[in-house]
């Protein structure tokens, strides 16, 4: 649970998320997926901001985990509580056609949670 709390409570959430992505795409990714255990009961005690951040983390963890052959995905990742009320499309304006494209073409891991990252930005270089 430590790793998850460290990410959602980080002073710089985007940096913490970037570091997570680096770990999940590293050759030692299995070890880093193991560190992502989180008690689903704790979701009820999160602030709205922490819940939104956890939702974004869950989307990324499931997306990358589904593409890493030996990744371990824990139960919390699939919680029904992890869905944003409004579509989250970082880097594009609400009225931008890119936003619509991103939403329409999003992988299920993002679409289910209303989190729409640009897939190109979360892939390893």
Domain boundaries, the chain: 2-122
- DSSP 8-class letter at 109: H
With a cut of 80, say whether residue 109 has pLDDT above it.
yes
With a cut of 70, say whether residue 36 has pLDDT above it.
yes
With a cut of 80, say whether residue 37 has pLDDT above it.
yes
Q: What is the mean pLDDT of residues 81-103?
A: 89
Torsion sign across C-alpha atoms 103, 116, 111, 122: positive
pLDDT band at 77 (very low <50, low <70, confident <90, very high): very high
Q: What is the mean pLDDT of residues 87-101?
A: 86
pLDDT for 41 equals 96
Mean of the per-residue pLDDT values of the chain: 94
pLDDT for 124 equals 64
User: Measured between alpha carbons, how far is 87 from 69 in angstroms, rounded to an integer?
Assistant: 29
Per-residue pLDDT of 40-70, as tens digits, reads 999 999 999 999 999 999 999 999 999 999 9
Torsion sign across C-alpha atoms 20, 110, 48, 71: negative
- DSSP 8-class letter at 120: G
- What residues contact 22, with CB distance under 8 A and at least 6 apart? 124
pTM of the model: 0.93
């Amino acid at each position: 649970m430590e790793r998850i709390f460290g990410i959602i409570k980080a002073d710089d959430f985007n940096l913490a998320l970037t570091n997570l992505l680096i770990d999940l795409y590293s050759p030692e990714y299995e070890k880093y997926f193991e560190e992502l255990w989180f008690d689903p009961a704790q979701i009820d005690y999160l602030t709205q901001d922490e819940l939104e951040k956890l939702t974004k983390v869950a989307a990324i963890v499931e997306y990358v985990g589904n593409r890493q052959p030996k990744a371990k995905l824990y139960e919390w990742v699939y919680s029904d509580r992890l869905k944003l009320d409004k579509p989250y499309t970082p880097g594009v304006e609400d009225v931008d056609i890119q936003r619509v494209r991103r939403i329409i073409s999003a992988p299920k891991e993002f679409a289910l949670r209303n989190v729409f990252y640009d897939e190109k930005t979360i892939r390893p270089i």
